[in-house]
Amino acid sequence: MSLIPIILCGGAGSRLWPVSRESHPKPFIRLADGQSLLQKAFLRAAALDGVKQILTVTNRELFFKTEDEFREVNECGVATSFICEPFGRNTAAAVAAAALHIAKTSGPETVMLVLAADHLIADHDAFAEAVGKAQELAHQGKIVTFGIRPDSPQTGYGYIEAEGNTVLRFVEKPSLERAREYLASKRFLWNSGIFCFTAASILRELEQHCPEILGSTDACLRESRTSEGNGWSQVQLAPNSFGMVPENSIDYAVMEKCTQAAVVPCAIGWSDIGSWTALSELCRPDSHGNRVEGEALLHDVDNCYFVSRDRLIGAVGVENLIVIDTPDALLVANRDRAQDVKHIYSELKARGHDAHKMHRTVHRPWGTYTVLEEGPRFKIKRIEVKPGASLSLQMHHHRSEHWIVVSGMAKVVNGERELFVSTNESTYIPAGHKHRLENPGVVGLVMIEVQSGEYLGEDDIVRFEDVYGRA
């Protein structure tokens, strides 16, 4: 029987703010070795026996970014397919959509391995062994979860009480005292959020326990658009019908009600990297318990975690702090309060502040742009366009733009004219003019864009043609 890993990639970006944002959630965070959590999840899945395809469920705004991440590491040429959600409806809807799609395209007896994109697993051999055991149970019609053998009384995880492979009950996140009892009893496992089952089995359970989620997801898929590219396929879920799907997690909707639930106890070096404290554990401490990523000068400092990619941090006489520096936001937190970072994120979102949503450097299908400076009636960006890539044919109502090429060559549509702009040359785009920027070369195009006008928001854009389907 074939095995298809399902990677669930999304998230709000709240727990690891300011590095994670709504448009750059936790799976895209790069670790010290240069790989993102998402890339590690992909490589881990691709290395399993029999895997020829990986299906990813993600937000449609993250599709091109996700595809770029996979292309960077997919040396073995595993086929990639995507289900793109217009907005999140939690994991039950994501699993239902994946199961319906897999049953139709690969057959109902296909085994699905559901993985979170933002988990870290250190022991790949133990993981592969656990997957093999889970597949055996899945072929028996079981709905399998992976239970992590606990090594400390964690209060941030749900627990599973088990005997062998039999699930006795699922338990919510406990108090510290109760977590210590669970650890001492040796009957409890951490609930990892990793699942394995056949498409037929999970569809049976969805039909029994949450038929409204399954039915509305099925109706949405029948209205959705499918497209294909070079080595990938994509299902774009229809927004109106997807909005009718009830929101619930697969744990609440199915696992806690399921009589066919089974568990594979395992020790795979698992972490869900749920806070800055957890992420700091990946960095080697100095003799004072300090961990530093970037450059920092410390005097009389103990048990702190500093991250700064762009600036030097100096610290004197402090202890037990987390300091995370990014170009547009700085986080200072007590290490014992790392879980409360989400409150800063929530307040930024409530105020409509851009720092909850995006970084100064923003990824687009065609490349990136970085906001260098902005003020009343002006904004300056550094724009980099990939070789062969093109922005949409577009127009702005409220702003004009001045483009100066720094390196490479640009092919520009400016109103009725089409022209090439070389290094150290420029062109001016008046408000109301249709325009397009393209990189016709084989090296990256870098340019400076100076915007001026009464309104400079990113939503002041009318697309007429777009090779990425955004028009």
Does position 125 have pLDDT exceeding 80, yes or no? yes
Residue 29 has pLDDT above 80, yes or no: yes
Domain identity same for 311 and 369? no
CA dihedral 93, 9, 335, 176 (to 10 degrees): 40
- 409 three-class SS: coil
pLDDT at residue 470, as a whole number? 74
Which residue range forms the structural domain that includes residue 313?
A: 284-348
> In the listed set 209, 241, 271, which residue is the last one of a domain according to the structure?
271
Instruction: Assess whether pLDDT exceeds 80 at residue 471.
Output: no
Higher pLDDT, 156 or 419: 419
**Residue 471 lies inside a defined structural domain of this protein:** no
Q: Are residues 120 and 14 in the same domain?
A: yes
On whether residue 279 sits in a domain, the answer given is: no
Residues 53 and 127 in one domain: yes
Contact 460, 385 (CB under 8 A): no
307 and 343: one domain? yes
| H/E run at residue 213 | helix 211-223
Q: Domain check: are 258 and 126 in the same one?
A: yes
φ, ψ for residue 406 (rounded to 5)? Answer: -95, -45
pLDDT digits (tens, 9 = 90+) for 179-237: 999 999 999 999 999 999 999 999 999 999 999 999 999 999 999 988 887 667 899 99
Q: Pick the range with the lowest mean pLDDT from 256-265, 358-367, 413-422.
A: 358-367
**Amino acid 411: pLDDT:** 97
3-class DSSP state of 134: helix
Q: Are 182 and 283 in contact (CB under 8 A)?
A: no
Question: Within its chain, how far is the Cα of 36 from the centroid?
Answer: 9
CA 232 from chain center: how many Å?
18
What pairing do the DSSP bridges indicate for beta strands 53-59 and 79-85?
parallel
HSE at residue 258, side-chain half, CA atoms within 13 A, is 27
**Residue 399 is inside which H or E element, if any?**
strand 399-407
Percent of the chain with pLDDT over 90: 92
Residue 278 lies in a domain: no
In a domain? residue 353 = no
Based on the fold, state whether residues 447 and 410 are members of the same structural domain.
yes
Beta bridge partners of 11: none
What is the rounded CA–CA span in Å between residue 467 and residue 471?
Answer: 8
- Chain centroid to Cα 328, Å, comes to 21
User: Which residue, of 271, 295, 317, is where some domain finishes?
Assistant: 271
Q: Is 239 helix (H, G, I), strand (E, B) or coil?
A: helix
Query: Do 305 and 190 have their domain in common?
Result: no
Residues 216 and 133 in one domain: yes
Q: Give tens-digit pLDDT for 377-387.
A: 999 999 999 99
CATH code for the domain of 28? 3.90.550.10
Q: State which of 246, 271, 296 marks the end of a domain.
A: 271
Residue 13 CA to residue 15 CA, distance in Å, equals 6
Residues 263 and 330 in one domain: no
Q: At 170, which amino acid appears?
A: F
Q: Label the pairing between strands 159-163 and 166-171.
A: antiparallel
What CATH number should be reported for the domain holding residue 387? 2.60.120.10
The pLDDT score that the predictor gives to residue 265 is 97
Nearest CA to 118 out of 97, 91, 136 is that of: 91
Does 148 lie in the same domain as 42? yes
Position 233 in a domain: yes
In total, how many domains does the chain have? 3
Q: Are 32 and 282 in contact (CB under 8 A)?
A: yes
